[in-house]
A and B are shown apart, each in its own frame.
Chain A
Amino acid sequence: EAGVAQSPRYKIIEKRQSVAFWCNPISGHATLYWYQQILGQGPKLLIQFQNNGVVDDSQLPKDRFSAERLKGVDSTLKIQPAKLEDSAVYLCASSLENFNEQFFGPGTRLTVL
């Protein structure tokens, strides 16, 4: 069984630029999560999808972050414009259903200069 795929693995941008991350969850997993993990901290949930509907986006900075999950499969997380404090690893995870075991992708390491 293929795991959660993310791309790119690394991205370096300058502040005020925009960036997008892509995630392909495990086939059949209804729930998809995006996390932000700042160096030395635990992952922080940004947004959770159930199929293509949003379950929780209470910690998503909506003035600059957006996410979508078209057709309930792949998902894209966008930052526009980026700030220095957005430098982090962005993790995507998926699970069969809500509350269940999450399978994490390798993450995208973003550096904002």
Chain B
Amino acid sequence: AQSVTQPDIHITVSEGASLELRCNYSYGATPYLFWYVQSPGQGLQLLLKYFSGDTLVQGIKGFEAEFKRSQSSFNLRKPSVHWSDAAEYFCAVYGQNFVFGPGTRLSVLP
């Protein structure tokens, strides 16, 4: 069975600081990988996805993620966080079916 873990329940960063959100998955092969963001009162929105090819993928809003097969990880990064990035972030994988991680809540200090 496939699974997704996001080790950090809640992260707080200062505006302008860099950000890395961790995601690890368990699956027998390389799954399709996704990062979604859920802002308060907003629906889930896709930030980026990885299917194959270049392991560093660029997404919307200045986010990027790197797939590391050896670590079964797909960490999300942003070089400079904006106050509007405060939200819940979900890593998701598609292997046999879609599985979402538990989410990481990001708070941004002014």
Binding site for B on A (CB under 8 A): 3-4, 33, 35, 40-45, 48, 56, 58-59, 91, 93, 99, 101-102, 104-107
Across-interface contacts of A40 in B (CB, < 8 A): 102
Pairwise interchain contact B43-A104, C-beta atoms closer than 8 A = yes
Q: CB distance A101 to B90 under 8 Å? A: no
Q: Is the CB of B43 within 8 A of A106?
A: yes
Q: Which residues of A have CB within 8 Å of B100? A: 35, 42-45
Do A41 and B97 have beta carbons less than 8 Å apart?
Answer: no
With A58-B97, A99-B94 known as contacts, the answer to whether A41 contacts B103 (CB < 8 A) is: yes
Q: Which of B80-99 contact A (CB under 8 A)?
A: 90, 92, 94, 96-99
| Given known contacts A42-B90, A45-B97, A48-B97, A102 and B46 CB-to-CB distance under 8 angstroms | yes
